[in-house]
Amino acid sequence: MKLQYLAFLWPCLMSMVVADDAILAPIKTGPQEIALVFIQGAYIKPNQYEPLATAIQSSSGFALWIGIPEMPLDLAEPLVLSGAISRVLKSMAGHGMNASAVFYAGHSLGGVILQDYVYSSGKSSHGQILMGSFLLRKYRNETYPVPTLTIGGELDGLTRVTRIMEEYYHRISEAPDINVATRSFPVTVIEGMSHFQFASGDPPKHVKDNDLKPEITFDSAHTSVASLVAAFIAIQMGDGRGFSTIQDAVGAAGSFVKPLITAYQMEGFYNFLPPCYDQTPGPYCTTGCSWTEQAQVIMGGLPQGPGLIDKDAFHPVYQINPVHLPHVTNNCSNPDSSCTLHSVTVSQNVYEDLDKLDTASTYTSAKEIRAKLKSRQTVMQAAGMKNVSFNISDAPSICKQINEQAYNWGINNAATKSYNRYISFGEYMTMGEDLGPYNVGPEWIWNPLKFIETKNSTGGAVLEVKAVMMKTPTVYYVKAAAGMHYCKLLSPARVMEWIYVDGLRKYYSIKT
């Protein structure tokens, strides 16, 4: 009862807090007056957004009023949001505003809290701008009722650019009509921009601790953001002259995120499409992991001669009814190029628990790919090779070799600027020797891929990756488990996320 009483009183108590709202009257005349209500990010004061707000007013062709309500403790919170928005709209009206349309913008946490309010208000909102924020996954399978512009920063250390990439994939890449999507749900990335550059002044502690180092000035960042916001508002107000600006920005974002999308597709990213598991494969789920298919080829280790084509399937690796195991489905009489082997493998991607909160503050890529592979001995014997010794064929750290290939793929496919930044300032990855064999199923399943921070020969930080493996010879006392070589694999998507974001934190953040 006490909690209910406090919940009832909370809005009343908060309304008693003296608010230091920022109200910016138009700096130019225009065909009509527009209101933009801007919701602050966590612990960032309204006046820290005034330079950006002024830049937006300068870029807009409308007489633009901007109101930035201050929340208690400078923290946007659902219980007080509606009252704060009403308060600042009333204040602007009191200063002479006669707006024909209302737009909303939110930075960081402000964008997260705002979108629920805008969703419920629906058609009363002409448009929404999310800065260092994005539409949450919970709105993905329905039509969000309000046009929304997403603006991400390449070097945003809090709202990682890989999450903006995920939004681009769904809102733009997979859109039935890209022109309609570009007008209504454009997703953009400003290169060289950090999380805090939507604001100004001194960043709060949580931003200092987590944001990356920007490569453009605050003025340049504000100018770029303002151009996009002004163009988006113009489009929603029926002025098509803003479309080319948005179209160019969306196109540039597409080029930027392309290698990230490719890496996540190789992983079989569950937040692009869910895994099929035991469902009938179709366009609404992902059958398997294409990186595991390449891993089986590497595991096979066949010399020039027989080829190997693998088909992977997503299944929970702990599932026992039915149990899903890898197989080589044919044999070659002679190890030459006249024969091609075919195999079937099993994968399960495992993601960070905190990613379920959809805050973009943690990795979005898989922290491991649990891959059930056939052993090198099995593949070589199926290819027609004789006297293959398991102790020789499967003795090296083959999982390590596969993970090295994932890392090399990321290094070779990252955008040139991202690669150069990482090589100059990033914390490198190195692969350690395989751990195991853990030949009791649960030991392998629940023993995770290891990420261990260590030092190189000069004392610099290095992230060592160690695979957990299970391997058995073709003659084994448990027949169903014979000829296996299971690996905890490093995802190419995790490598790219390390290159673009997390590998920069040690030496390329505003904290360091």
* CATH of residue 109: 3.40.50.1820
pLDDT grade, residue 173 (50/70/90)?
A: very high
What's the whole-number mean pLDDT along residues 276-300? 95
Assess if residue 118 is contained within a domain.
yes
Same domain membership, residue 446 and residue 367: yes
Q: Which of 37-41, 87-91, 305-309, 391-395 has the weakest average pLDDT?
A: 305-309
- Which pLDDT belongs to residue 429? 97
- Which pLDDT belongs to residue 306? 77
Which of 210, 233, 266 is the endpoint of a domain? 266
Which of 233, 266, 299 is the endpoint of a domain? 266
Same domain membership, residue 202 and residue 75: yes
Same domain membership, residue 109 and residue 254: yes
- Which pLDDT belongs to residue 30? 78
Percent of the chain with pLDDT over 90: 89
Query: Per residue, what are the HEC states of 319-386?
Result: CECCECCCEECCCCCCCCCCCEEEEEEEEEEECCHHHHHCCCCCCCCCCEEEEECECHHHHHHHCCCC
Residue 12 has pLDDT above 50, yes or no: no
Same domain membership, residue 156 and residue 48: yes
Percent of the chain with pLDDT over 70: 96
- Which pLDDT belongs to residue 1? 39
Assess if residue 57 is contained within a domain.
yes
- Which pLDDT belongs to residue 274? 97
- Which pLDDT belongs to residue 121? 85
Number of domains forming the structure of the chain: 2
Same domain membership, residue 246 and residue 174: yes
- Which pLDDT belongs to residue 219? 98
Same domain membership, residue 476 and residue 350: yes
Assess if residue 128 is contained within a domain.
yes
Closest alpha carbon to 105 in 96, 88, 93: 88
pLDDT in tens, 441-467: 899 999 999 999 999 888 899 999 999
Same domain membership, residue 78 and residue 216: yes
Task: Give the Cα separation of 202 and 255 in Å (integer).
Answer: 33
Same domain membership, residue 489 and residue 409: yes
- DSSP-derived secondary structure for 71-124: PGGG---HHHHHHHHHHHHHHHHHTT---SEEEEEEETHHHHHHHHHHHHHGGG
Residue 31 has pLDDT above 90, yes or no: no
Residue 14 has pLDDT above 60, yes or no: no
Assess if residue 377 is contained within a domain.
yes
- Which pLDDT belongs to residue 15? 43
Closest alpha carbon to 317 in 213, 410, 445, 431: 445
Query: Per residue, what are the HEC states of 287-331?
Result: CCCHHHHHHHHHHHCCCCCCEEEEEEEECCCCCECCECCCEECCC
Same domain membership, residue 299 and residue 259: no
pLDDT in tens, 93-135: 999 999 999 999 999 999 999 999 999 987 689 999 999 999 9
Task: Give the Cα separation of 188 and 153 in Å (integer).
Answer: 9
Assess if residue 32 is contained within a domain.
yes
Q: Which of 24-33, 269-278, 361-370 has the weakest average pLDDT?
A: 24-33
Same domain membership, residue 318 and residue 408: yes
pLDDT grade, residue 336 (50/70/90)?
A: confident
When the pLDDT of each residue in the chain is averaged and rounded to a whole number, the result is 94
pLDDT grade, residue 13 (50/70/90)?
A: very low
Assess if residue 277 is contained within a domain.
no
Assess if residue 144 is contained within a domain.
yes
Q: Which of 156-160, 331-335, 350-354 has the weakest average pLDDT?
A: 331-335
The CB-side HSE value for 446 (13 A sphere, CA atoms) comes to 5
Residue 8 has pLDDT above 90, yes or no: no
Write down the pTM of the prediction: 0.94
Residue 414 has pLDDT above 70, yes or no: yes
- Which pLDDT belongs to residue 11? 46
Select the more confidently predicted residue: 122 or 431: 431
Same domain membership, residue 294 and residue 251: no
- Which pLDDT belongs to residue 335? 83
- Which pLDDT belongs to residue 77? 93
Q: What is the DSSP letter of 48?
A: G
CB of 478 closer than 8 Å to CB of 325: no
Residue 205 has pLDDT above 90, yes or no: yes
Same domain membership, residue 310 and residue 257: no
Residue 282 has pLDDT above 80, yes or no: yes
Assess if residue 321 is contained within a domain.
yes
Domain of 297 in residue numbering reads as 290-504
Residue 5 has pLDDT above 50, yes or no: no
